[in-house]
Amino acid sequence: MQDNATAPSNLVDYVTSCSLPTPWAQFTLHAFVEHSTGKEHLAMTLGDLSTGDAPLARIHSECLTGDVMFSQRCDCGAQLESALRRIADEGRGILLYLRQEGRGIGLVNKIRAYRLQEAGADTVEANLQLGFHADARNYELVLPMLEQFGIEAVRLMTNNPRKIDALGKLGIKVAERVPLLVNRNVYNENYLNTKQAKLGHMMTSATEAVLDGEA
């Protein structure tokens, strides 16, 4: 049994909320603070999430270069926009924005990893060369954030099986995986291929998976 001091429900504090108009809908923005690091994490919600079917959801790790600076080296910014668009189109859903830059290694180290990639390493090799795990993110924070809104099951927009596994271990049901395949381009082709080959990301659409016998 987990010690109560470190149980996921006690990892963050909810602080406050405000309205957040976007090009796609007027979301509500909710702020949380992580106890151990002081990091500020966010949730964007739309509609009533406490009742009805499992809402559309996205767990998005911070990517300053992709989300803010429009970098084409990754698909992060495009995934963020696509997820918000889909939630807006449905009129109901949640996006968790976790401050886990660079798969958990931080912004400066991510830039160091980019430099190694320019010398020939792939994204996994670069992280390992810097002394980090291939993916150092931790998803325990998701539980108390979803509990804040009474959410016990989600339709998760992701290509990453690790997120699905993490939610299952936390007791959150993934009622459906919704592929999020956007912005493949000449600059991120190797990045996306490495995600699939070395991290197990599911880089095919739901239709393609059925045709390939993967569903």
Which residue in the list 67, 122, 135, 155 is annotated as catalytic? Answer: 135
Residue 102 marked ligand-binding: yes
Catalytic member of 86, 137, 155, 177: 137
62 is in an annotated binding site: yes
Q: How far apart are CA 56 and CA 76, in angstroms?
A: 18
Torsion of CA 138, 139, 141, 144, to 10 degrees: -160
Question: 60 among the known binding-site residues?
Answer: yes
158 is in an annotated binding site: yes
Catalytic, 99? Answer no
Single out the residue of 58, 84, 81, 89 nearest to residue 155, CA to CA.
58
Cα 38 to Cα 52: distance, rounded to the nearest angstrom: 34
Between CA 104 and CA 133 the distance in angstroms is 9
112 is catalytic: no
Beta partners for residue 208, in sequence order: none
- The answer to the question of whether 59 is labelled as a binding residue is yes
Catalytic residue numbers, as ranges: 135, 137
Binding-site residue positions for Zn(2+): 63, 74, 76
Which amino acids are annotated as binding site for GTP, given as ranges?
58-62, 79, 101-103, 123, 158, 163
Binding-site residue ranges: 58-63, 74, 76, 79, 101-103, 123, 158, 163
